[in-house]
Structure 1
Amino acid sequence: MSKPAVTYLLLTVALLLLLAFSRAPHSHPARLPTRRLAPIHHQPFDPLLSQLEQEAEEQGLLDRQAIQERLDSALAEGDHRDENLGKIGFLEEFFSEQGRLNVTERLTYLFPLLDRYPKDDVVSFRELEIWNQRQAMDRLVYITDRRMKVHDKDGDEEITLREFLSGIPQKNLDITNMERKTVNWWKEQFVNADGDGNGSLNKTEFNHFLHPEDSREPKIERWMLKEKMREMDRDKDGKISLEEFRDRSNGININYPSFDKEPSDHNLSIAEKQFAELDVNQDGYLSAEELKPISIHLWPGELWHATLFTKYLMHAADDDKDGKLTLEEMLNHHHAFYTTVMEESYSDDDEYEDYHPHDELR
């Protein structure tokens, strides 16, 4: 592949990613605010695109001004001398001279990597889910590694709270105030992630700190549940009423979206049914303990979205509805596997959320 094609390709990928990140969400009155130290990210199905994205990030191309400057330079007549953008030779096998991804070649290459448990020439839901979750985990580790390099000022491979908050003035580090809108929210999360209690976070602990939604550490799960209770409990009585649950149920992912059946009930009645099922002692309120069964849906993380993406792909490509994908089915629906973002659309009459793909590098 010529250097101009590589340059244009990488800039195009960066622009697609930037547009996906900046896409305004559909407005919804019941949407809950969330605070993440690392943004929710739709992990590409194809690890090759993950490599492209990482190249774009590391070269500062997820910034509008940077993209425009590099694009202007790359497209200037006779100016194709950007050596950094040319150092991605692994693209040549799967990209054409025009910078187009050969999706048939890629899916044919990836299929045997998915078909492993067992190797039977079809990809099951579980095999596809394992693949997507692995891509998500690789992304989380990559983000953590990058953040470690930024915050580990003394190079000891441990992150202290001071190192993490080094850009915040000392006067703002009042640890006596645990209000959610202060840096002490981060301090509380830092303490929860500090498993050995030594006052600093190693790589594993820092990963829990950055991505608490994907942590299965009991202490972090309890804290996340307390945070969600705080958001939902409007009258601050320490429990969730039916009204509070119903008002918030549209803004949290209590149910996996269903792609294989038509909605049968209105959201309000669904919320009431869910509330009744969770209200074990039937006192008309939900405690933190009673919310535990749906905890994974109260703060969906990257792994949750990987499973959701798996459901979407199976729905889109499983033509004979046997719960498995053949290579032919994947090739027939290649557009579903090469999507930048699943756009969420919501209808008050829907029991589930519908996702529409935006094609990547077509």
Structure 2
Amino acid sequence: MVRAVVFMLLATAFIFFTLKKQHGQTQNRRPTRRLGYKININIPPAPVFDPLVTKMERLHQAHEKEGGGENDGDNDRDDYFTDEGKLNVTLRLIVLFPLLDTAPKDGFVCLKELETWNLQQAEERLIYRTIEELRLRDRDGDGMLSFSECLPRFSKEDIEKNETGHGEAGWWNQQFINADADKNGLLDFDEFNNFLHPEDSNNEEIQKWVLREKIRGMDSNGDGKLDFTEFVKHTYDTYRIYMEFETLGAQIPTAEEKFADLDTNNDEFLVVEELRPIIRYLQPGELSYAKYYSHYLIREADDVKDGKLSLEEMLNHEHSFYNTVFDDIMDDDYDDFHDEL
């Protein structure tokens, strides 16, 4: 079933649905990925392989805001899209191939080259969203955000109550404090970027906050840590699925082996600090998905199984690189991140 879903949707879509099925309601306790999301399940969009697709997404959003129609001045649409508005996939892959084949430039695209490319696209999208959200919320134009600018839906009374239940003002305020590295009560661009995209942050306090929320959804007895039974029930399968996908059949530690490896103080419990080494498996962000997407593309298109892709192989599997992504982008319901909470 796993293989069938991968072929049908994309590697990331497979992972999204697998994790959703495994964890059920525990996913609803995850921090919202962007402040404007009105959904409970916290999943990023599927990775976008082609920067032109991202560009067209932005143009579409701009036209929607302005209430306008087509952008007649954009030559990319004429150069790379058919009369029906469909992306000319073959042409785009021919254009992109030499941009991917860089280290070394040998006529093949290896995993490292593909991963570097996809990570660049993911990072650019994260930065763009942060710029847009900062622009929308920075009422005084100083390039920094106070808590009330970040989350204007909370009144002064809400903030003073400081209630720390999931999604309450105090809960968000703790994450604001985590992101405020210089502790000046305001978030600059980098701090706001961490606040907005916690799963992609290297901020230690934010990572701990993310993991505490994750543990809360998996901790059956409410003691704030995971015993082996809870680890097996809620955590190990997620870790195993990602590892199977990432390692291409290499031996994966058993649940007992991985638990023992993480349990550094040998007390038979896992706490936040001990789970940090596998945070990208338990709570992957868009950068992690970009890496998994690269593995997926290599697996799907590498016909001769030499660990790299020729242009011919990419063209033979062009659906794997552009699987309905442009149709999804042009869906009016695609992006909700400008909606207020």
TM-score range, shorter chain: 0.7 to 0.9
Task: State the partner residue of 2:184.
Answer: 198
Deviation at 1:250, TM superposition (A): 6.3
Question: Which of 271, 279, 288 is the aligned partner of 1:287?
Answer: 271
Task: State the partner residue of 2:165.
Answer: 179
Deviation at 1:200, TM superposition (A): 0.9
Question: Which of 292, 298, 312 is the aligned partner of 1:314?
Answer: 298
Is the Cα contact below 8 Å between 1:30 and 1:247 reproduced in 2?
no
Q: Which structure ranks higher in relative contact order (CA pairs < 8 Å, sequence separation ≥ 6)?
A: 2
Is the Cα contact below 8 Å between 1:253 and 1:300 reproduced in 2?
no
Task: State the partner residue of 1:53.
Answer: 57
Question: Which of 236, 241, 261 is the aligned partner of 1:277?
Answer: 261
* CA deviations over 1:213-243 (Å, ceiling 9, x no partner): 1011222223223332333223232321112
Deviation at 1:253, TM superposition (A): 4.4
Task: State the partner residue of 1:111.
Answer: 97
Q: Considering only aligned residues, what root-mean-square deviation do their CA atoms show, in Å?
A: 3.0
Rounded to whole Å, the distance in 2 between the matches of 1:317 and 1:155 is 47
**How much identity, in percent, do the aligned residues show?**
39
Across the two proteins, how many residue pairs are aligned to each other?
303
Deviation at 1:48, TM superposition (A): 0.8
Task: State the partner residue of 1:210.
Answer: 196
SS in 1 for 2:172: helix
Rounded to whole Å, the distance in 1 between the matches of 2:31 and 2:209 is 13
Question: Which of 122, 127, 132 is the aligned partner of 1:146?
Answer: 132
Question: Which of 117, 120, 126 is the aligned partner of 1:131?
Answer: 117
SS in 1 for 2:242: coil
Deviation at 1:282, TM superposition (A): 3.4
More displaced stretch, 319-328 vs 239-248: 239-248
Cα 1:277/1:257, change in 2 over 3 Å = closer
Is the Cα contact below 8 Å between 2:31 and 2:213 reproduced in 1?
no
Rounded to whole Å, the distance in 1 between the matches of 2:177 and 2:285 is 20
Cα 1:125/1:288, change in 2 over 3 Å = same
Task: State the partner residue of 1:336.
Answer: 320
Rounded to whole Å, the distance in 1 between the matches of 2:154 and 2:237 is 32
Task: State the partner residue of 1:28.
Answer: 21
Q: Does 1:224 align with 2:220?
A: no
Deviation at 1:304, TM superposition (A): 0.5
SS in 2 for 1:60: helix
Rounded to whole Å, the distance in 1 between the matches of 2:311 and 2:198 is 36
SS in 2 for 1:140: helix
Is the Cα contact below 8 Å between 1:115 and 1:123 reproduced in 2?
yes
Higher strand share: 1
More displaced stretch, 83-92 vs 50-59: 83-92
Higher helix share: 2
Rounded to whole Å, the distance in 2 between the matches of 1:336 and 1:167 is 41
Q: Does 1:44 align with 2:48?
A: yes
Is the Cα contact below 8 Å between 1:257 and 1:308 reproduced in 2?
no
SS in 1 for 2:79: coil
Is the Cα contact below 8 Å between 1:190 and 1:209 reproduced in 2?
yes
Is the Cα contact below 8 Å between 1:313 and 1:336 reproduced in 2?
yes
Cα 1:303/1:114, change in 2 over 3 Å = same
Alignment-mate amino acid for residue 89 of structure 2 = V
Cα 1:155/1:359, change in 2 over 3 Å = closer
Alignment-mate amino acid for residue 321 of structure 2 = F
Q: Which runs of 5+ in 2 are unaligned?
A: 1-11, 35-42, 331-341
TM-score by length of structure 2 reads 0.79
Rounded to whole Å, the distance in 1 between the matches of 2:69 and 2:274 is 57
More displaced stretch, 217-226 vs 320-329: 217-226
* CA deviations over 1:297-342 (Å, ceiling 9, x no partner): 121000110011001100000111111111111111111000256x
Q: How does 1:151-170 map to 2 (within 5 A)?
A: 151-170=137-156
Rounded to whole Å, the distance in 2 between the matches of 1:288 and 1:35 is 16
Rounded to whole Å, the distance in 2 between the matches of 1:83 and 1:124 is 40
Rounded to whole Å, the distance in 2 between the matches of 1:245 and 1:151 is 40
Deviation at 1:94, TM superposition (A): 1.1
Is the Cα contact below 8 Å between 1:249 and 1:271 reproduced in 2?
no
Task: State the partner residue of 2:4.
Answer: none
Task: State the partner residue of 1:17.
Answer: none
TM-score by length of structure 1 reads 0.75
Q: Which runs of 5+ in 1 are unaligned?
A: 1-19, 71-81, 342-357
Is the Cα contact below 8 Å between 2:303 and 2:313 reproduced in 1?
yes
Task: State the partner residue of 2:3.
Answer: none
More displaced stretch, 140-149 vs 274-283: 274-283
Alignment-mate amino acid for residue 303 of structure 2 = D
